[in-house]
A and B are shown apart, each in its own frame.
Chain A
Amino acid sequence: MTTATVSSEPTIAPAMRMDHLRALEAEAVHILREVVAEFERPVMLYSIGKDSSVMLRLAQKAFHPGPIPFPLLHVDTTYKFREMIEFRDQMARAVGARLIVHTNSTAIADGTQPFKVGTQRCCGLLKTKGLLDALEAGSFDAALGGARRDEERSRAKERIFSVRDAKGQWDPKRQRPELWHLLNARLQPGETIRVFPLSNWTEIDVWQYIHVERIPVVPMYFATEREVIVRGNSLIVPEQPFVPVLPGDTLQVVRCRMRSLGCSPCTGAVRSDADTVPKIIEELVAARQSERQLRVIDHDQDGSMELKKREGYF
């Protein structure tokens, strides 16, 4: 046994080394290509957020000079911010991809909204059921998503190729081991797969990549003066007609931005001066609160994300 060398880096031409971001990019491109090579009908979930923006760019890279060889799917709860929808349509046009928009219209017609049925049931109907229905309607065998393992505890154990049963559900105990970069694409009848090319990325990696690649993102990520409802520590953007203004609520102008983008009634803003990507990165490095703190849904109960994933949510 020898003592480990703590000397300087070995002498290799600097040009022959890849930094952390390029290594993550190469890995994600590899995953995207495996999906296209191994599955008949892949689809990419497009949720309009920063992770989706990165996924789009990676898909452009993976198949260049060819077009992106799968459609994009947006499961629209109808409660998204207007700016998000505008951005979505603009991006789909810009990259020349086919965009499928799916809404659980039965649930909407039944009056499903978070304040009426509770956030859990609302997500279950509009996101999870909406997603499962859309995947079935398109007969998609593989769905690419931008989820990252660092987002939440139960996601830390998610595979890159994650098998779902005929009901779209996840069984954490029956996960396939994933070794090296060998991805097992074999499915039994009825099974489908969820694929997570950004598994090994962190939130800061995503922003750094957006910065170096100059990837467009929804402007709501950047700080500006906004009129918001202040409830305790939460800043709520009163997107109309989705966010009810309660008696006692007052509107205040606060310099703030969104750390993650979801449905307008369930996504809060954070006080911030970060109006550029480098400032956002700086803020994150110093941040003492994770990105999901202000997304009400993860706070419902301990392990709520895991429950939703088992049921079929991403």
Chain B
Amino acid sequence: MSGLLRICTAGSVDDGKSTLIGRMLHDSQAVYEDQVHSVRAASQNRGVGPIDFSLFTDGLKAEREQGITIDVAYRYFATARRKFILADTPGHEQYTRNMATGASTADLAILLVDATQGVRTQSRRHARIASLLGISEYVLAVNKMDLVDFSREVFEDIRGAFEEILGDVGCHALPLSALHGDNVTTLSPRTPWFEGPSLLEHLETVTVTRDLTLSPFRFPVQLVIRPDREFRGYAGQIAAGIVRVGDTVTAWPSARTARVKRIVTYEGDLDVAFAPMSVTLVVDDEIDISRGDQLSSVAHPPHVGNRFQAEVVWMDERPADPARVYVLKHTTRSVAAALSRGLALNQIGTVTVSATRPLVFDRYDNNRTTGSFILIDPASGFTCGAGMITGLGEGDRTEPDTTFGAAARLVQLARQAGSDAEAIAAVEKALEEMLI
């Protein structure tokens, strides 16, 4: 997307992530003067030096008290060349879910390493999460270079280790001192051996190759807009590809085709629309389409099925339980679903997901929107899992298999229901009975 770069950051506690982000915000003039004043006052209360850049980003009181970052914070800054949305995610192991959250919408990840510590288990984990969530562009920020006398050798060792971890992806490695500003906005005279560009210059110019308009058309229907008898439009955000008036599209899961008659917007009708625009489509056929259905390219159909394989990140203290049923939200469709295995908090694992009703999906590496889902615990309402679809489960388009025991019974039950809402209600009721 032109003019906008979404970034996430990852590093272990004390690597200097908050300092680095504070420095970037400060140096790019995004920090206004009165924020500087109030931060200065707060850092004097805490008794740590004249100005603590990490206070720009450590938002919540609890964090300020404990002195650690405990949640994802979003930051916005701009230079003359580009706008940035930065998800600041904590490095502490128990908060893997936050890193996954930040990475889920990011184009680029900044992996931070403390030069005095070298590559740690945490660093590997962060790199793995970022790549699992589909990030293909990296910045390796080797920080606190001032504490190792700006040693090229230290830097090259760390860079080498990361090359092995990351494999074949775009990566720009930088020797930094977030505290003193070396190589953050301008090249530092203390690293004459470093060719550059500086961190900010790199972020301003780096090309991220994701282009949604080059993928086959995908349009999950969000809402049917029906102000009167004359008008029936399908509102949604185009998840991938391009649509033109006159195109034939397939409605899934019914598999019926229709022609696009109008592309309606508030400004007037369009001839063509593309991802990620939010539009309203009118089709020429009176086919029954509702929220949760998908209109898509006839030539390149999506997968439709009840079962698939996914990498699931577990985000709830209550572990995943193959005997339980979860609400699965995928694009605009919510269904009841069971998992083939258990997972503990912050565990990532390959899971076979069995849903009560068919989903219209793509593999995550082909489409982040139609290839992703969240799992919701019906008892707490908490978002307990996040999944990336990696492939079709064997038995796709067939009856759900019975190896899941209790879950399979629930799946059966739910399939008899008339709608997603009924299915979820029926399953919850049965589940409660089973637990008693």
- What residues of chain A have their CB less than 8 Å away from a CB belonging to chain B? 1-7, 9-10, 12, 15-20, 22-23, 25-27, 29-30, 33-34, 36-37, 60-67, 149-150, 153-157, 163, 172-173, 175-182, 184, 186-188, 191, 199-200, 202, 204, 287-290, 292-293, 299, 302-303, 306-307
| Cα–Cα distance between A17 and B368 once the two chains are bound (Å) | 18
Residue ID in chain A nearest B201 by CB atoms:
A6
Question: B342 at the A/B interface (Cβ < 8 Å)?
Answer: no
Task: Verify A17–B202 contact, CB threshold 8 A.
Answer: no
Question: B34 at the A/B interface (Cβ < 8 Å)?
Answer: yes
Residue ID in chain A nearest B82 by CB atoms:
A20
Cβ–Cβ < 8 Å partners of A61 in chain B: 265-266, 278
Main SS at interface, chain A:
loop
Question: B168 at the A/B interface (Cβ < 8 Å)?
Answer: yes
Task: Verify A303–B32 contact, CB threshold 8 A.
Answer: no
Which residue of B32, B74, B104 contacts A156 across the interface (Cβ within 8 Å)? B74
Task: Verify A4–B372 contact, CB threshold 8 A.
Answer: no
A243 smallest CB distance to B (angstroms): 23
Task: Verify A303–B61 contact, CB threshold 8 A.
Answer: yes
A-B residue pairs, 10 tightest by C-beta: A66-B227, A290-B32, A29-B278, A179-B104, A61-B266, A4-B170, A1-B163, A293-B34, A156-B73, A64-B266
Q: How large is the interface on B (under 10, 10 to 19, 20 to 34, 35 or more residues)?
A: 35 or more
Task: Verify A4–B206 contact, CB threshold 8 A.
Answer: yes
Report B20-61 residues with CB < 8 Å from chain A CB.
32-35, 38, 41-42, 45, 56-57, 59-61
Report B54-99 residues with CB < 8 Å from chain A CB.
56-57, 59-62, 64, 70-76, 78, 83, 85, 97-98
Task: Verify B74–A33 contact, CB threshold 8 A.
Answer: no
Cβ–Cβ < 8 Å partners of B2 in chain A: 9, 17-20
Cβ–Cβ < 8 Å partners of B4 in chain A: 20, 23
| Cα–Cα distance between A87 and B225 once the two chains are bound (Å) | 29
Which residue of B62, B278, B383 contacts A176 across the interface (Cβ within 8 Å)? B383
Given A65-B227, A176-B383, A187-B381, are A23 and B1 neighbors across the interface (CB < 8 Å)?
yes
Task: Verify A172–B62 contact, CB threshold 8 A.
Answer: yes
Question: B261 at the A/B interface (Cβ < 8 Å)?
Answer: no
Which residue of B105, B162, B205, B277 contacts A26 across the interface (Cβ within 8 Å)? B277
- What residues of chain B have their CB less than 8 Å away from a CB belonging to chain A? 1-4, 32-35, 38, 41-42, 45, 56-57, 59-62, 64, 70-76, 78, 83, 85, 97-98, 100-101, 104-105, 137, 162-163, 166-172, 197, 202, 205-207, 209, 211, 213-214, 222-223, 225-227, 231, 233, 235-237, 242, 264-266, 272, 274, 276-278, 280, 291, 315, 327, 329-332, 368-369, 372-374, 376, 378, 380-383, 386
Cβ–Cβ < 8 Å partners of B236 in chain A: 30, 33
Task: Verify A157–B266 contact, CB threshold 8 A.
Answer: no
A53 smallest CB distance to B (angstroms): 15
Residue ID in chain B nearest A155 by CB atoms:
B59
| Cα–Cα distance between A292 and B45 once the two chains are bound (Å) | 22
Task: Verify A179–B372 contact, CB threshold 8 A.
Answer: yes
Task: Verify A157–B32 contact, CB threshold 8 A.
Answer: no
B88 smallest CB distance to A (angstroms): 8
Task: Verify A182–B374 contact, CB threshold 8 A.
Answer: yes
| Cα–Cα distance between A155 and B266 once the two chains are bound (Å) | 31
B92 smallest CB distance to A (angstroms): 14
Cβ–Cβ < 8 Å partners of B378 in chain A: 186
Task: Verify B32–A66 contact, CB threshold 8 A.
Answer: no
Cβ–Cβ < 8 Å partners of B330 in chain A: 182
